Amino acid sequence: MSPSFSWIRPEPWGIHVVPADCWIDPSREVPHALVTHGHADHARGGHGRTTATPETLAIMDLRYNTRENIQPVHYGETVRLPGGVDATYLPAGHVLGSAQILLELGGERVIVTGDYKRRADPTCPPFQVTPCDVFITEATFGLPVFIHPPIAGEMAKLLTRLAEYPERCVLVGAYALGKAQRVIAELRLAGHHQPIYLHGALERMCRLYEELGVSLGELRPATGASKDAMRGHIVLCPPSALNDRWSRRLPDPITAMASGWMRTRQRARQRNVELPLVISDHADWPELTGTIQEVNPAETWITHGREDALLRWCQLHQRRARALALVGYEDEDD
């Protein structure tokens, strides 16, 4: 690998910014962490110092009580790290507060995308294409079979099914941070202003989104609500609760799941899903490859997901690329 980028060193437990001795999204406790976004596989508690966007810090506070030794950085803002490294946080469009981190030293520019998407999302600002020398990208949906359909069509499917069965409810499994709030916000955009019922595990995060300025309309706890009250309504829960006994309290639920993995039938069937909704907070294949072309870096490093296929694509398009073996990133619930 080019020795000129030796100040950035990928290790199995995170990306090491050597002159600053800090780590991006480390999976173990470190003295100083730069965190891209609040999902549990990227943001962990217990670091000596944490640098992230104010929204990500608020999410980490909610989840890990991370409130000491924090350094908020707004989008577009640059902070000087030890060793003369400049770090700029740029919108990644993944979830509220999610950022790419641009690192600069001696005229070399490296971007770590964290997780990102290119579609419009009413709950967070869009991904910002920024030129760089090394583009360190995710590859969660890094297979050419993954083409996420427009979200409006998925919302229409959900609302059509809801209208067809007024005596039942539609139970939508959605990841607690990001996906759940995006689904709610998109439902509101689609003109659905009925109350939406929430599994207890989603309530605090939705409240935090509202405090941070994302309005979600009328939300009600599913716990304690009567079966009759929930008939004809949408209920949201984390994916793990879809087929759990928790759902027995609901009025004959139609089980749906909002996830990029719903693109393939076997994955949807494994989840016992009746209504698969292909809604992802990650870039799909055309967006992963299109973003690399737009950013047009000298090198592409691939962090996690289906790196083999994206690596192959880079080869086929005469782009320098390497796969990094990072551990601890999970993608099952997107």
Partner 1 sequence: MEAFAALVDALIYTRSRNGKLELIADYLRRTPDPERGWALAALTEGLDFPAVKSGTIRTLLHERVDPLLWQLSRDFVGDTAETASLLWQPPALADGPPAPPPSVTQAVEALSAMTRASVLTELPRLLDRLDPDGRYALLKLATGAMRVGISARLAKTAFALAFRVDVDAVEEYWHALAPPFQPLFDWAANGADPPDTQSLPLFRPFMLAHPLDDLQVDLADYVAEWKWDGIRVQLACAGGATRLYSRSGDDITATFPELAEALTIPAVLDGELLVRGSHQGGEEGGAASFNALQQRLGRKTVSAKMLAESPAFVRLYDLLLLDGEDLRECPWTDRRAALEALLPRLPAEHFDLSTIIPADSFADLATIRDGTRDEAIEGLMLKRRTSPYVAGRRTGLWYKWKRDPLLVDCVLMYAQRGSGRRASFYSDYTFGCWQGDPADPAGGAELLPVGKAYSGFTDEELKRLDRHVRQHTLNRFGPVRETDRSLVFEVAFDSVRASKRHKSGLAMRFPRIHRIRWDKPAHEADRIEALQALVHGEPGGGTARRQDLSAE
Query: Which residues here bind partner 1, judged by CB under 8 A?
Result: 143-145, 147, 243-248, 263-266, 268-269, 272-276, 306, 308-309, 312-313, 316
Determine how β-strand 22-24 pairs with β-strand 32-34.
Answer: parallel
CB 248, min distance to partner 1, A: 6
Determine how β-strand 86-91 pairs with β-strand 99-105.
Answer: antiparallel
CA distances from 198 to 150, 187, 195, 206, 285 (A): 25, 14, 10, 9, 32
CB 323, min distance to partner 1, A: 13
CB 134, min distance to partner 1, A: 24
In the complex with partner 1, which residue's Cβ is closer, 114 or 251? 251
In the complex with partner 1, which residue's Cβ is closer, 234 or 250? 250
- In angstroms, rounded to a whole number, what is the distance separating the alpha carbons of residues 73 and 179? 24
In the complex with partner 1, which residue's Cβ is closer, 77 or 252? 252
In the complex with partner 1, which residue's Cβ is closer, 185 or 234? 234
In the complex with partner 1, which residue's Cβ is closer, 101 or 254? 254
In the complex with partner 1, which residue's Cβ is closer, 117 or 306? 306
CB 226, min distance to partner 1, A: 20
- In angstroms, rounded to a whole number, what is the distance separating the alpha carbons of residues 2 and 19? 17
In the complex with partner 1, which residue's Cβ is closer, 55 or 284? 284
CB 249, min distance to partner 1, A: 11
CB 147, min distance to partner 1, A: 7
CB 300, min distance to partner 1, A: 16
Q: SS3 for the chain, per residue?
A: CCHHHCCEEEECCEEEECCCCEEECCCCCCCEEECCCCCCCCCCCCCCEEEECHHHHHHHHHHHCCCCCEEECCCCCEEECHHHCEEEEEECCCCCCCEEEEEEECCEEEEECCCCCCCCCCCCCCCCCCCCCEEEEEECCCCCCCCCCCHHHHHHHHHHHHHHCCCCCEEEECCCCCHHHHHHHHHHHCCCCCCEEECHHHHHHHHHHHHCCCCCCCEEECCCCCHHHHCCCEEEECHHHCCCHHHHHCCCCEEEEECHHHHCHHHHHHCCCCEEECCCCCCCHHHHHHHHHHHCCCEEEEEEECHHHHHHHHHHCCCEEEECCCCCCCCCCC
In the complex with partner 1, which residue's Cβ is closer, 7 or 141? 141
CB 301, min distance to partner 1, A: 19
CA distances from 45 to 60, 96, 100 (A): 7, 19, 20
In the complex with partner 1, which residue's Cβ is closer, 74 or 317? 317
CB 240, min distance to partner 1, A: 12
